[in-house]
Amino acid sequence: MTSPMMNSSPVDVRREGVSAASRTAADGRDCVDSSLLFRGARELIIDHGGNAYHLRITRNDKLILTK
């Protein structure tokens, strides 16, 4: 299965309007709204250390991360 995000260029959340969609969590860490990351898709691929991880939104609106 090919992800809609697979052929897209990576999103640099620092340049993609994060100020409107980001906030600081209660513990002081940065927090980004998932709609900014998914941009209407149900799945995206995260490259981490040369490995591809799939982040999906389930039918129950939960997130699942798989390698």
CATH classification of the domain holding 57: 2.10.70.10
- The predicted-structure confidence for 41-58, as pLDDT tens digits, reads as follows 999 999 999 999 999 999
Long-range contacts made by residues 59-62, C-beta under 8 angstroms, separation at least 24?
none
Q: What is the pLDDT of residue 4?
A: 47
Tally of domains in the chain: 1
Q: Quick check: is 59 in a domain?
A: yes
Q: What is the pLDDT of residue 13?
A: 53
CA distance linking residue 48 with residue 26, whole number of Å: 26
Q: Quick check: is 57 in a domain?
A: yes
Place of tokens 């998914």: 38
Q: Quick check: is 8 in a domain?
A: no
Which range of residues forms the domain containing residue 54?
Answer: 18-66
Q: Quick check: is 6 in a domain?
A: no
Using 50, 70 and 90 to split pLDDT, how confident is the model at 12? low
Using 50, 70 and 90 to split pLDDT, how confident is the model at 18? very low
Q: What is the pLDDT of residue 3?
A: 46
Q: Quick check: is 25 in a domain?
A: yes
Q: Quick check: is 11 in a domain?
A: no
Q: Quick check: is 12 in a domain?
A: no
DSSP structural state of residue 35: H
